[in-house]
Structure formats: structure tokens, C-alpha cells
Amino acid sequence: MERTEVDAVVVGAGFGGLYMLHKLRGLGLIVRVFEAGHDVGGTWYWNRYPGARCDVESMEYSFSFDEDLEQEWSWTERYATQPEILSYARHVADRFDLRRDISFSTRVTSATFGEANGTWLVTTDKGEEVRAQYCVMATGCLSTVNRPDIPGLDGFAGPVYQTGLWPHEGVDFTGKAVCVIGTGSSAIQSIPVIARQAAQLTVFQRTANYVAPARNQPMSEAYEEHFKANYKDLRRKQLQGYFGALPSGEPRMVPSMSVGDDEREAAYEEGWERGGLGLLGSFPDLLFDRDGNETLAEFVRGKIRATVKNPATAELLCPDDHPVGSKRMCIDTGYFETFNRDNVTLVGLKAEPIERISSEGVVTAKQAYPCDALVLATGFDAMTGTLAKIAITGRGGRTLKDEWADGPVAYLGLMVAGFPNLFLVTGPGSPSVLSNMLVSIEQHVDWIAGCIEALRERGAGVIEADPAAQEDWLEHGAAVAAPTVYPDGKSWYTGANIAGKPRTFMAYIGGVPGYRKICDAVTAGDYAGFAIDGAEAAPLPDFMAVLRTPQPAEAAA
């Protein structure tokens, strides 16, 4: 029989939930995990759209916590496909015997903190009630899809597919007329694949995106061997990378506008040829210096114009209303080339907005586009959407939804004041989506497990974020984000993609190494900014000063 009294409940069995379960078991805790899907994998379980793959290199997008796991798993391509990443998640679950503590096809509906006994009561849509001392939300950052509010959508006669909820049996578009709405990462990966299959494809673009080539390729034996022989060192270097990834090539460590046009162009050309998101790291200031950023923007536009044969289509595909990186940069395999195909049409929604969906297709201000199938590549209610669907109630009957009414707040992105013993894995206010997610997941899970272990060692029952510390963290995050280009884009990073969602920059942009230093300083300062069993929280470190302190390795270099 399933246990209804446990030490910890973990919500979600993606990479965060799997590793959390493994770590807490290692501490001797009894754990129950609830997962809405029928299997493990989280985002990689749901996002099965054609062409789905990771845009972090596969050798880096993997767990580092177990050397045998590192050595025994082999990736077949530079960027792993969704099925391969899902197989990896399944392998992790089996290898560490995790499934026996996971209840699949079970959605957590509420979590309520009991002030009298200091425990969480968690309920599910299966009618279960489980009590736990700790509750960990490993619910993912991009796990609630954004179904656009377009009039008539429910009356479309054909099938409507959402990239983030793709049918498990796959979809055959052969001979069909297909309309795709959206041109973010998911669309950019799926459009070339759908175009090869469909009879006719019409793409509806609201905002053009900056896209760099992935240059995906089969994994070479030598590359894999090099990684496996040097994993320890490479993982250490990963943690020194701003985004928790190894630098690609040899980035020039000078400001972008301090070099001549030819040298700058050469740097971008090298990044373009190497492929991947590293293009954005060609110079260290591209996310800060708007003039420098514009030179990269123009470089990408030049590549689009050189690739797309129809000049009007090329212009439409050229982003011109936001800096590079302020919306998530995308990487592709043949995206722009796809618009040279006879069976592909691009519709710019700025000139002809969608008015409605009829039973036959998409109707814009200018004309009707009939189709047999509709694909919504319209993204997610990011960072907060999934937590908002769970009725989470903390001290004094305060709900998380109300606490976050003006935008999410969480001290270090790990805990919310007023919600004791409730932990967030890669929550708002942490590097999360601005980093290699596996690196950030491992850090948060290790921190949460270390915190629980410390509480147990000192015989303490309850830890909670101090409201003043949370406020300071919010201010620090805003101060770090202000000089960057990030707030300039109308993106899901800021909640701008969801009508009525408060606009705040939801991730921490101080970089992975700086954020880790701050977390380490907080831990070393006796969990500074956290109140333990009602005692006053230890004083905060100066976040900005810690952020700017060189790491020992940097200092020695």
C-alpha cells in the first residue's frame, strides 16, 4: 500500500524530480513523487513535436552526479533528439530504481501547510492525501502550454496540435495542408520537418527571431572519448561558464565595439560556422552593449538575406524589434532554407493579424488560409503557470497565487517567504532557463538536500525564507538585469507572452558562477536570510559584492 505519511513529497518526475528523489533517499528519507505524465521525463515526455531536440550539447546536457552513469551512457548526436533524451531519463529512473516511489498519471491539486504540526498536506486528482515534512516542487519552468485565445479556435474542423502536448503516436501530415502559428524555438525546429511531409505549409509569424545554425552532427567517437576521459575537469569548467556550459571556441575577451568591423565580423563568422548558442558569446558584452548587440543582429539579418531567395520573405524573417538574446535565441537545422520551398508560405501577422479561426482554417485581416491541420507552437505560461494551477497555501492561509499576483518572488529562487519547508527546483529568481538546465537542477537539488540534512543534524524542524531577505534578493535580481538587453524583449522571460501576466524579469541573470557563489555564501553564513525554527535569520551577505568576487580559480588565473 502507498504510504500517506512520508518525509518528503516531490512534485514532478522530470530531471529535477528524479535527482531529488535519489538524493533524499540517500539521506534515508521516505519520499513519494507525483507525476502527471504516464512516465518520467518531464518536458521531454510532453514535447514530442517533429524535430524536437535539445539546443545544449548532449555531452553537457546530462547528470554529473554519478561517474558510472556518465561513462556508461552514449549520445549519438551533437544535439540529442527528444526520444534519446527521454530514453536517458528512463535509464536514470531504472538504474537508480526510482520508479517504485513515483505515482504516475497523478496530478497534485493542492499543498497546504499545517502550522500546528509543521507539515504539508498534499492532495492529488486521484483523491489521495499525503502528509510530509518537506514538499519539493520540481514542476519545471516550461510545463504549462499557452493555448492562444484566438476566437473560433475550438470550432476548427480538423485536428489542433500543440507542440508542448504532442500526441505520443506521432502525426502524419503527408498530403495535408498545415498551418503553424508561432515562430519560437519549437516552431523553428518543427517547421522544416513538417514542410518536408505536408503538401502545403503556411507559417504565421508575429515576431521574427534570431536563429543560428545548430550544425548538428553524429557524435564522433573521439569527441565522446575525450569528454569521458576528462569529464571531471570539463564539468568544473562548465560551472565557470556564465550559462553553465563550456565556452564554444575561443571567445574574444574584449568589448565588441573595441575591435574593428573586420575582426568583429570574423568573430561572428567563426561562431556561425561552429554553430549553436555560442554565437551570442562571441564577445562578453553582447548582452549589455546595445550597439555591439546591433552588430550581431545585423550579421544574422545578413545571413537570412543571403539564404532566403524571395527578398520580401527574407525581410519578413529579419528580426528588427528586439536585441539578440532578449528573447530566447533559437538554433535550427534548415529553418530559413525551408522558406525557399514551393510548398511553404510565410504570413507576417504585423501586417495581417489573425482575426479568427474558422472551421476551415486561419482567417487574417487580409484573407483566409484553409488547412487540414493546425499546429500551435505558441509556447508556455513559463515559470509560474504550473505552480499557479496547484492550490498552494502557506502560513496564515496565504496562497502562492496571491503572493505572486504582482510577479513571482522567491529567495534565491529556492523558497518563498511564508511557505516553510516548501522548496522550488529552478524557481523564479534563479538562473534556471538562462542556463544549462541540468547544471542548475543539480545545483538546486544538491542545495535542498544539503539544507534538509543540515536541519536534521541540528534537530530543527522548519526553515523558511525571511521576507526582508526575499525583498533584497528581488532588488538585487532587478539591479543585475537592468543594464542587460533582457528586459527589452517582449518574451516569456518577462511574462509578456501571456495576457494579464505581470511583467517582471523572472530568471536571475547574474550568471551560473556568480549565483553559485552567492548560494555558497548564504549556506556558509548559517543559511543567511533563512529563519530556522522561528529564530532570527542570519544577516545577508552583500550579494553584489559576492557576485563580483572572482572564484578561486579565476583569481589564480
Supply the minimum distance, in Å, between the C-beta of residue 209 and ligand N01.
Answer: 7
Supply the minimum distance, in Å, between the C-beta of residue 181 and ligand N01.
Answer: 5
**Exactly one of 106, 186, 399, 504 binds ligand N01 (CB under 6 A); which one?**
186
- By CB under 6 A, the count of residues binding ligand N01 is 28
Residues numbered 158-177 forming contacts with ligand N01, rule: CB under 6 A: 163
Lookup: cell for 373: 491541420
- The 10 Å CB-count burial string (b at 16+, else e) for 11-43 is bbbbbbbbbbbbbbbeeebebbbbbbbebbbbb
- Amino acid identity of residue 171, one-letter, is V
Stretch that binds ligand N01, among 28-36, 49-57, 66-74, 420-428 (CB under 6 A): 49-57
Spatial distance between the Cα atoms of 481 and 488, rounded to a whole number of angstroms: 10
**Exactly one of 14, 42, 184, 278 binds ligand N01 (CB under 6 A); which one?**
184
- Rounded to the nearest 5 degrees, what angle is found at the Cα of 551, between the Cα atoms of 549 and 555? 90
**Exactly one of 90, 107, 123, 148 binds ligand N01 (CB under 6 A); which one?**
148
184 neighbors 330 (Cβ within 8 angstroms): yes
Spatial distance between the Cα atoms of 380 and 378, rounded to a whole number of angstroms: 7
Instruction: Kindly state whether residue 187 participates in binding ligand N01, applying the rule CB under 6 A.
Output: yes
Which CB, 146 or 421, lies closer to ligand N01?
Answer: 146
Which CB, 82 or 393, lies closer to ligand N01?
Answer: 82
Stretch that binds ligand N01, among 32-40, 186-194, 296-304, 461-469 (CB under 6 A): 186-194
Instruction: Kindly state whether residue 492 participates in binding ligand N01, applying the rule CB under 6 A.
Output: yes
For 2-40, the DSSP string reads --SEEEEEEE--SHHHHHHHHHHHHTT--EEEE-SSSSS
Supply the minimum distance, in Å, between the C-beta of residue 183 and ligand N01.
Answer: 4
Nearest Cα to 2, choosing from 134, 95, 132?
132
Which CB, 183 or 338, lies closer to ligand N01?
Answer: 183
Instruction: Kindly state whether residue 190 participates in binding ligand N01, applying the rule CB under 6 A.
Output: no
Instruction: Kindly state whether residue 242 participates in binding ligand N01, applying the rule CB under 6 A.
Output: no
- Helix residue spans in 167-310 (DSSP H): 185-197, 221-229, 231-240, 261-274, 290-307
C-alpha to C-alpha distances, 300 to 241, 290, 460, nearest whole angstrom: 24, 15, 55
Spatial distance between the Cα atoms of 375 and 364, rounded to a whole number of angstroms: 16
Residues numbered 361-390 forming contacts with ligand N01, rule: CB under 6 A: 377-380
Percentages of the chain per state (helix, strand, coil), in multiples of 5: 35, 15, 45
Instruction: Kindly state whether residue 546 participates in binding ligand N01, applying the rule CB under 6 A.
Output: no
Which CB, 348 or 408, lies closer to ligand N01?
Answer: 348
Spatial distance between the Cα atoms of 17 and 37, rounded to a whole number of angstroms: 13
Supply the minimum distance, in Å, between the C-beta of residue 141 and ligand N01.
Answer: 8
Stretch that binds ligand N01, among 116-124, 129-137, 142-150, 242-250 (CB under 6 A): 142-150
Supply the minimum distance, in Å, between the C-beta of residue 505 and ligand N01.
Answer: 15
Supply the minimum distance, in Å, between the C-beta of residue 86 and ligand N01.
Answer: 13
Spatial distance between the Cα atoms of 15 and 40, rounded to a whole number of angstroms: 8
- Which residue's C-beta sits nearest to ligand N01? 184
Supply the minimum distance, in Å, between the C-beta of residue 416 and ligand N01.
Answer: 23
Supply the minimum distance, in Å, between the C-beta of residue 146 and ligand N01.
Answer: 6
**Exactly one of 328, 444, 476, 516 binds ligand N01 (CB under 6 A); which one?**
328
Instruction: Kindly state whether residue 182 participates in binding ligand N01, applying the rule CB under 6 A.
Output: yes
Which CB, 162 or 399, lies closer to ligand N01?
Answer: 162
Count of other CB atoms within 10 angstroms of residue 489: 20
Which CB, 138 or 451, lies closer to ligand N01?
Answer: 138
Residues numbered 336-365 forming contacts with ligand N01, rule: CB under 6 A: 349, 354
Instruction: Kindly state whether residue 244 participates in binding ligand N01, applying the rule CB under 6 A.
Output: no
Residues numbered 409-468 forming contacts with ligand N01, rule: CB under 6 A: 433
Lookup: cell for 527: 543559511
Lookup: cell for 531: 529563519
**Exactly one of 64, 185, 216, 430 binds ligand N01 (CB under 6 A); which one?**
185
H or E, element range at 84: helix 82-95
Stretch that binds ligand N01, among 183-191, 238-246, 472-480, 537-545 (CB under 6 A): 183-191
Measured in whole angstroms, how far is the alpha carbon of residue 404 from the centre of its chain?
Answer: 19
Long-range contact set of residues 470-474: C-beta below 8 Å, sequence gap at least 24: 470/409, 470/410, 470/411, 470/416, 470/417, 470/529, 471/409, 472/529, 472/540, 472/543, 473/410, 473/411, 473/412, 473/429, 473/529, 473/543, 474/409, 474/429
H or E, element range at 53: none
489 neighbors 321 (Cβ within 8 angstroms): no
Which CB, 48 or 328, lies closer to ligand N01?
Answer: 328
Q: What are the residues binding ligand N01 (CB under 6 A)? A: 53-55, 142, 148, 150, 163, 181-187, 189, 204, 206-207, 328, 349, 354, 377-380, 433, 492, 497
